[in-house]
């Protein structure tokens, strides 16, 4: 049981990472609604354990304090590389898997066990409980005994043992070890263990904590969201996605295709873990099976009852009856399910994001980030307005290239603006209200 000082420290950590208290409540309610053990599966890369274990442990302890107990799997790739080099053992990788002679198993086992205990101790120092799980929790079959040696593919999971630890108020910790049917210890790729655990538990969130903090684009910047339904083929053909990351994305796609549509996978950093879990904007790359985004250039192409219903539920206000007759319609975007949409208009040839709507039950699913990427790709420069109490303002502030307060409104923009046209800003803020008794449009 965490002491009062630990509780205060973890809550301070949470509040320092999340600007909007409403977002905290939304996600706590959402995560708290699932059965214990189905909150999240979190994988910590070996490099993260070496470079940022304290931060990762603080974040995991925070989740435990809040009654959210993830199942944690960790890798030890860099640590094993070092240990093998010191012993002059050569275990090259074949197809991304480390060949594992039986004589190297003892060394790999000792390294994995030692780092499991270090992680457990770090979490306990933060006031939470963690339990290292034995290799027998994972049963495995040999992948290719002749070529790879003692390398296993997960075939079964003692999920009841994990759930017992979770029910007792602790975080179960798994490493890269499993057990073959003959009782022999085997080395298993940690990502494959994530897949096995996720398929059995069907968690709401699956998070990979890496040193890169996400999938990087061609400039080295983190891609906020990947809608696999639209982006996978393009990523597959891109020369800037590393081979290792592409293998991970392919593994994630295979996993998401087998899990409920509400499941998401995030790739983030240790410092970004809390923000990725508890904010709409996140701090890493969110990957979802996703939906196609359709573009409409005329209002008669749109399923108007569904779009109007989405906007009214998102803004909690009825639209003005003449909404579609005011302003200059340019185009609209909507996901297949009409759970996320954007409406663009024009003012003096300038593109205006008039409405950006996300269904309440879709927030946090990544649809908004996928939609935002579509907007940025299609409209290099655009403006939009937002009232001070709009809960999306933290997201807007992060994504905008600039903003300025004009009366009751903030006007945001993206793109390279040579100078601020205050007359244009005034015309944007003076546009008619979109909703009856408009408050947060």
Tell me the domain boundaries of the chain.
Answer: 4-288, 293-429
State residue 2's pLDDT score: 43
Nearest to 264 by CA among 42, 412, 1: 42
Which helix H or strand E contains 315, and what residues bound it? helix 304-315
Q: Please report, in angstroms and rounded to a whole number, the separation of the first and last CA atoms in the chain.
A: 44
Cα distance between residue 384 and residue 259, in whole Å? 36
Phi and psi at residue 43, to the nearest 5° = -110, 125
CA 269: distance to chain centroid?
Answer: 10
**Burial degree of 46 (CB within 10 A; 0-12, 13-18, 19+):** buried
Q: What is the pLDDT of residues 316-341, one digit of tens each?
A: 899 999 999 887 899 999 998 899 99
β pairing state of 130-132 and 171-174: parallel
pTM above 0.85, yes or no: no
Residues contacting 357, CB < 8 A, separation 6+:
310, 311, 314, 315, 340, 341, 342
Tokens of 274: 């809390």
Question: What is the third-level CATH fold of 4-288?
Answer: Carbamate kinase (3.40.1160)
State residue 17's pLDDT score: 53
CA 317: distance to chain centroid?
Answer: 30
State residue 96's pLDDT score: 75
State residue 12's pLDDT score: 54
State residue 440's pLDDT score: 44
State residue 7's pLDDT score: 44
State residue 261's pLDDT score: 74
Phi and psi at residue 73, to the nearest 5° = -120, 140
Spans of the chain, pLDDT less than 50:
1-4, 6-8, 10, 438-441
Residues contacting 251, CB < 8 A, separation 6+:
191, 195
Q: Which CATH superfamily is domain 293-429 in?
A: Gcn5-related N-acetyltransferase (GNAT) (3.40.630.30)
Cα distance between residue 179 and residue 156, in whole Å? 10
Q: What is the pLDDT of residues 293-308, one digit of tens each?
A: 999 999 999 999 999 9
State residue 176's pLDDT score: 93
List beta partners, residue 64: none
């Amino acid at each position: 049981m965490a002491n009062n000082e630990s509780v205060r420290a973890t809550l301070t950590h949470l509040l320092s990472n999340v600007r909007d208290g409403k977002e905290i409540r939304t996600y706590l309610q959402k995560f708290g609604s699932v059965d214990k053990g189905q909150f999240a599966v979190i994988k910590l890369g070996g490099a993260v354990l070496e470079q940022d274990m304290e931060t990762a442990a603080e974040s995991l302890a925070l989740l435990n304090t809040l009654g959210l107990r993830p199942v944690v799997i960790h890798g030890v790739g860099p640590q094993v590389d070092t240990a093998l080099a010191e012993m002059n053992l050569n275990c090259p990788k074949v197809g991304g898997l480390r060949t594992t002679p039986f004589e190297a198993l003892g060394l790999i086992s000792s390294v994995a066990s030692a780092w499991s205990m270090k992680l457990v101790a770090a979490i306990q120092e933060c006031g939470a409980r963690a339990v290292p799980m034995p290799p027998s929790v994972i049963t495995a079959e040999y992948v290719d005994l002749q070529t790879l040696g003692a390398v296993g593919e997960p075939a079964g999971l003692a999920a009841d043992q994990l759930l017992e630890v979770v029910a007792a108020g602790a975080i179960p910790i798994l490493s890269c070890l499993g057990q073959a049917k003959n009782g022999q210890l085997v080395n298993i790729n940690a990502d494959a263990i994530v897949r096995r655990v996720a398929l059995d538990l069907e968690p709401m969130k699956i998070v990979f904590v890496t040193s890169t903090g996400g999938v990087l684009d061609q400039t080295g910047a983190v891609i906020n969201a990947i809608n696999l339904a639209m982006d996978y083929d393009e990523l597959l053909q891109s020369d800037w996605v590393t081979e290792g990351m592409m293998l991970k994305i392919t593994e994630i796609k295979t996993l998401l295709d087998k899990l409920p549509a509400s499941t998401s996978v995030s790739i983030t950093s240790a410092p970004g873990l809390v923000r990725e879990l508890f904010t709409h904007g996140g701090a890493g790359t969110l990957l979802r099976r996703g939906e196609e985004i359709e573009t409409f250039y005329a209002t008669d192409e749109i399923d108007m009852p569904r779009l109007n219903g989405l906007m009214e539920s998102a803004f909690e206000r009825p639209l003005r009856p003449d909404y579609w007759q005011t302003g200059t319609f340019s185009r609209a975007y909507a996901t297949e399910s009409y759970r996320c949409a954007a409406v663009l208009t024009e003012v003096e040839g300038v593109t205006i994001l008039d409405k950006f709507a996300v269904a309440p039950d879709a927030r946090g699913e990544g649809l908004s980030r996928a939609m935002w990427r579509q907007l940025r790709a299609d409209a290099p420069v655009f403006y939009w307005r937002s009232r001070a109490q709009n809960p999306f303002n933290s997201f807007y502030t992060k994504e905008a290239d600039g903003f300025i307060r004009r009366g009751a409104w903030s006007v945001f923009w993206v793109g390279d603006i040579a100078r601020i046209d205050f007359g244009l800003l005034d015309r944007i803020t003076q546009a008619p209200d979109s909703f009856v008794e408009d408050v947060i449009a």
